[in-house]
Amino acid sequence: MSKRISDDDEVGKEADIRSGPSSNRQVNPTLQQEQPYPHQHQVHKVGVPAKQNLFKEFRATVKETFFSDEPLRPFKDQTKRRKLVLGFEALFPILRWARDYNLTKFRGDLIAGLTIASLCIPQDLGYAKLANLPGQNGLYSSFVPPLVYAFMGSSRDIAIGPVAVVSLLIGTMVRDEVDPIKNAHDYLRLTLTATFFAGVTQLTLGFFRLGFLIDFLSHASIVGFMGGAAITIALQQFKGLLGIKTFTKKTDIVSVMRSVFNAAHHGWNWQTILIGVSFLAFLLLTKVKKKKKLFWVPAIAPLISVIVSTFFVYITRADKEGVAIVSKIRKGINPASADLIYFTGDNVIKGFRIGVVAGMIALTEAIAIGRTFAGMKDYQLDGNKEMVALGTMNIIGSLTSCYVATGSFSRSAVNYMAGCHTAVSNIIMSLVVLLTLELITPLFKYTPNAILASIIISAVVGLIDFEAMKLIWKIDKLDFVACMGAFFGVVFISVEIGLLIAVSISFAKILLQVTRPRTALLGKLPRTNVYRNILQYPNATQIPGILIIRVDSAIYFSNSNYIKERILRWVTDEEEQLKQKSLPKIEYLIVEMSPVTDIDTSGIHALEELYRSLQKREIELVLANPGTVVMDKIHASEFVELIGKGKIFLSVADAILTFAPHHEEP
């Protein structure tokens, strides 16, 4: 017998008797037992579910799609006053956990807040440069957004601020529309407009509970995109690290390396290289794995590097020798910027397009980080509330001179290791940034650009997850193709194309799985009534005269024709081999339908065509264990009358007991 299948099946449990009676649904009263054969178990007829009310069924579907977490459950049977309190607590989670806040928690949050502040200040200056913005805009984005998130966010560990990937995305997409050097004011306006629409996108997704849309970007695609973006970001830092004055505006590796080598004879500055490379080596050295108690070493290393390098440049006046410096950073807190946002004209469309892309990437990164640390501390994270919080903070941020902020993995990891308990650590960080803006910014005047390049390179190294790539290769080769497609798209073409490739391959994978579902040839495990994939269980035997095939997917218009043709190919292949071996021909085809969660009219039409094709070959079609939804629809279509009520069974074992009883072992 042939033992080929499309892929392995899942090990384990017997098929659920989903169409049988249960406490929460009615069953057709005609359900009855047949007289049992003198064997171990009885043959049962498949129950037909009671006809559902169309409105109730639609309401249940909508509820499961958008409100599966039952967000209104806490409001049930509460007084109006209590409902009002619960409503405010849902919108501002700080009102809930603040009641149990104590000095012990504050001590942990204080240490964590001060630690991530020491990390965020130099990173903010570097990321702002990556986004082609003045340094103060990076600091602004670590002042207002974290404060808003602390009141509205539900994660205890996430640290908010600018991040490398989103900064690069903003920098490249906005620069394609406006030159940041010749038209710095218009560039800032378009960036703020993009930030506003990024917030609107995030808020809309959360408010309408559409968070499941971000799951369409697969984990493999994100790993590849992040890795490619990390290399692109690092390459972009060669300008500051080597002191190159004329540098390409393109982000692909070929253009960047050509620009670097073209400047080798006249554009490199040895003092800049000395500063950049030496501090980069120091920063990377501090990242070498150490004891958990020394988490603060890599956290404060960037700030130490900034202080030491700034002092060195100031006392040696290396800036007069060609070492590029940050120059002036505006002192003071965030100025209002509502009047800078485009609400009319062509730039609105440009800002909207850039904002949607940046908002989705920022959202994906933040949710992934939040869920990671929530899992480590064993608490639940409400994805829709997170989207509302992130959207609100970016909308408010756009009105206060900030660009897109989100959860930072490096800062969140430091926040977690520093022992944070609540979002108060974000408030502490914001207050330190406030003091920096008010008092310390003039001191950054002599900070060399090379040190910011070093900080960015050391920060993005962790975004290249080789272990995850190796695991993806081991688990799913198609996922690996998606990962590498996104990676090489970012590295060799552009960030936008890499992102487009990631999304396209993710959708292509979904379409492939939907249109080409798995099927499996089943055999009987010795001394049991269990039927499993014969490729996974080579000792499983097939019943003479009976072919058992399992369909591992819902049957829709997109795959119904393929499933019908695939089953007929199984039949043809088996008949050829049986003829060669002079074995009995196939008399019954049993389709195991446990995994078939749904079927539409195209699917039923395909079953009808399958039935007619089998009739021509003198083979009877038998169905085993169709679920509630499937049973309801095949009854409504009168398909049951076509194949005969005696051809639908509760399990494969029951079908075998009926058509080949002598093969049932005691």
Which one-letter DSSP state was computed for residue 666? -
**DSSP H helices in 581-649:** 601-616, 628-636, 639-643
Question: Is 316 in the same domain as 448?
Answer: yes
Q: Are 495 and 251 in contact (CB under 8 A)?
A: yes
Provide the mean pLDDT of the chain: 86
Of the candidates 434, 462, 490, which is a domain's last residue? 462
pLDDT score at 322: 80
**523 and 454 together in one domain:** no
Same domain, 397 and 531: no
pLDDT of res. 222? 86
Buried b (16+ CB within 10 A) or exposed e, 149-164: bbbbbbbbbbbbbbbb
What pLDDT, on a 0 to 100 scale, did the predictor assign at position 666? 41
Q: Are residues 146 and 287 in the same domain?
A: yes
Output the pLDDT for position 210.
80
pLDDT (mean) for 90-114: 92
pLDDT digits (tens, 9 = 90+) for 582-613: 888 999 999 999 999 999 999 999 999 999 99
pLDDT band at 33 (very low <50, low <70, confident <90, very high): very low
* Confidence grade of residue 645 (pLDDT, cut at 50, 70, 90): confident
Distance CA 644, CA 512 (A): 34
Tell me whether residue 562 is in a domain.
yes
Check residue 52 and give its pLDDT: 65
Range of the domain at 569: 517-659
The amino acid that residue 351 corresponds to is: G
Residue-level pLDDT at 7: 39
Residue 552: CB atoms within 10 A of its CB come to 19
**How many domains is the chain partitioned into structurally?**
2
Q: Is 37 a residue whose pLDDT tops 60?
A: no
Q: Are residues 525 and 456 in the same domain?
A: no
Burial 176-213 (b: 16+ CB within 10 A, else e): ebbebeeeeebbbbbbbbbbbbbbbbbbebbeebebee
C-alpha 514 chain-centroid distance? 19
pLDDT at 228: 92
Answer yes or no: do 422 and 523 share one domain: no
403 in a domain, yes or no?
A: yes
Quote the CA–CA distance of 205 and 87 in Å, as a whole number: 19
Q: Does residue 325 fall inside a structural domain?
A: yes
Answer yes or no: are the C-beta atoms of 385 and 154 closer than 8 Å. yes
Asked if residue 527 and residue 451 are part of one domain, the reply reads no
Contact predicate 255/233, CB 8 Å: no
Residue 489 falls inside a structural domain? no
Q: Are residues 260 and 132 in the same domain?
A: yes
Whether 212 and 324 map to the same domain: the answer is: yes
Max CA separation in the chain (angstroms): 100
d(CA 388, CA 608): 48
Per-residue CA distances from 573 to 2, 121, 576, 607 (Å):
8, 67, 5, 20
Confidence label for 51 from pLDDT (cuts 50, 70 and 90): low
Domain assignment present for 1: no
**Are 457 and 541 part of one and the same domain?**
no
Q: Is the pLDDT of residue 3 over 60?
A: no
More confident residue, 15 or 135: 135
Predicted confidence (pLDDT) at residue 546 exceeds the cutoff of 60: yes
Does residue 86 form part of some domain? no
Question: Does residue 664 belong to any structural domain of this protein?
Answer: no
How buried is residue 31: exposed, middle or buried, by Cβ count under 10 Å (0-12/13-18/19+)? Answer: middle
Task: State yes or no: pLDDT of 248 exceeds 70.
Answer: yes
Q: Is the pLDDT of residue 182 over 60?
A: yes
DSSP designation for 20: S
pTM over 0.85: no
- 3-class SS of residue 591: strand
* Domain harbouring 655, CATH code: 3.30.750.24
Domain end, chosen from 462, 488, 504, is at 462
Q: What is the pLDDT of residues 294-320, one digit of tens each?
A: 777 888 899 999 999 999 999 988 888
Give me the pLDDT at residue 74, please.
Answer: 75
pLDDT band at residue 576 under the 50/70/90 scheme: very high
Q: Tell me the per-residue pLDDT of 123-169, one tens digit each, with 9 for 90 and over.
A: 999 999 999 999 999 999 999 999 999 999 989 999 999 999 999 99
Q: Is residue 206, in this structure, part of any structural domain at all?
A: yes
User: Which residue, among 205, 221, 204, 124, has the nearest Cα to 163 in the 3D structure?
Assistant: 124
263 in the same domain as 192: yes
Residue at a domain's end among 462, 477, 495: 462
pLDDT tens, residue by residue, 414-464: 899 888 999 999 999 999 999 999 998 888 889 999 999 999 999 888 888
Residue 1: the pLDDT is 40
Check the CA dihedral 72-76-81-85 and report its sign: negative
| Pair (403, 544) in one structural domain | no
